[in-house]
Homo-oligomer: A and B are copies of this chain.
């Protein structure tokens, strides 16, 4: 269950078992000049079949888009019959695209056993830039200028607030890459074919951002080991948080410009209900909530909102979710951007989906899995 079956170097179509580990898969196809169109912190342990079942997102979504676009075919076991739809064709308009309904269905419609996915051409050069800035408005200004000026070489754009960075550096015991802290940081990755061209574009962007006072400082890594070291800061943020207490990690989709306001509004709410004091340092607070942080994929409008507490508590969970999910619903956002529904969220699906939509999901579930034996109790409410 962890073998690559075929690789088409011309088209980029890779067919493999569902049990291939993402990082190993990527390392094997990279020998053929290809790159997996998905990358995420858990790459060393997650399986490609699971990535597809949960419709994973990750840090290169802004460049390579959704798995709905890059999955070419699936081999699925719904209800005892093998559906071999392992096409390697980039285009195929013969009937309904059945693969699509299994992407993100979390195994509730069938078990994915094989995968055909469109790998990207591996870029020749990467660069990673981290910039420090004063305000979230500066983050948005940097995002807009970066999207415009780095256009075709932009492969990731992530942001974090000061507290996320502080906790990550302390939690991982890493030195601060800058000589001070900034209120906000962005991580920008480029992928291109000509390092001179890429450097020129990056330097132009950097100088423009600095001369217009949008950013305070920036550092750039161009060799793979330096890049990996800096990416680790971003990829280990959740792990670092958990060193300071039980951590709620909410995974929200909302309009990009509202990401930081959501963090502020949650802090205000938690102060109002007397479980938090934002003037107290997270490692020296007597309140139940130690801190609230925000980071995430700005390019995709995906905020990871994190709350470190003394200890998980059911009553607080309910209070927290009621506030945050209502907040997200009012912004027409999603209560689960890339982490899925699983066992925990079926009953709160209505925050993000209409009754008509949920009914249609149930209709599809009933038609494909009439006995309800595929991954029961998950995704859909009873």
Interface residues of A (CB under 8 A from B): 8, 10-11, 33, 54-55, 57, 61, 65-66, 68-70, 78, 81-85, 87-98, 100-101, 103-105, 109, 118, 121, 123-124, 140, 143-144, 147-153, 191-194, 197, 200-201, 253-257, 297, 299-302, 332-341, 345, 349, 352-354, 356-358, 360-361, 363-368, 379-380
**Given A11-B256, A354-B84; A191-B152 close (CB under 8 Å):** yes
**Given A69-B68, A70-B65, A191-B152; A91-B301 close (CB under 8 Å):** yes
User: Can you name the residue of chain B whose Cβ is closest to the Cβ of A350?
Assistant: B94
Which chain B residues border A90 with CB–CB below 8 Å? Answer: 61, 66, 253, 299-302
Min CB distance A5 to B, Å, is 13
Min CB distance A331 to B, Å, is 10
Considering residues A91, A121, A124, A151, which has the most beta carbons from chain B within 10 angstroms of its beta carbon? Answer: A91
Q: A11-B255, A91-B302, A360-B368 are in contact. List 14 more A-B contacts (CB 8 A).
A: A10-B257, A11-B301, A69-B70, A84-B354, A87-B334, A89-B332, A91-B300, A91-B334, A94-B335, A94-B336, A95-B380, A123-B151, A148-B193, A151-B192
B104–A93 CB distance below 8 A: yes
Which chain B residues border A363 with CB–CB below 8 Å? Answer: 367-368
- A97 is contacted by which of B104, B148, B332 (Cβ under 8 Å)? B104
- A153 is contacted by which of B66, B152, B340 (Cβ under 8 Å)? B152
**Given A11-B256, A92-B337, A380-B95; A69-B78 close (CB under 8 Å):** no
Which chain B residues border A150 with CB–CB below 8 Å? Answer: 193
A353–B151 CB distance below 8 A: no
**Given A65-B69, A87-B332, A334-B87; A94-B193 close (CB under 8 Å):** no
The CA-CA distance from A160 to B157 in the complex, in Å, is 39
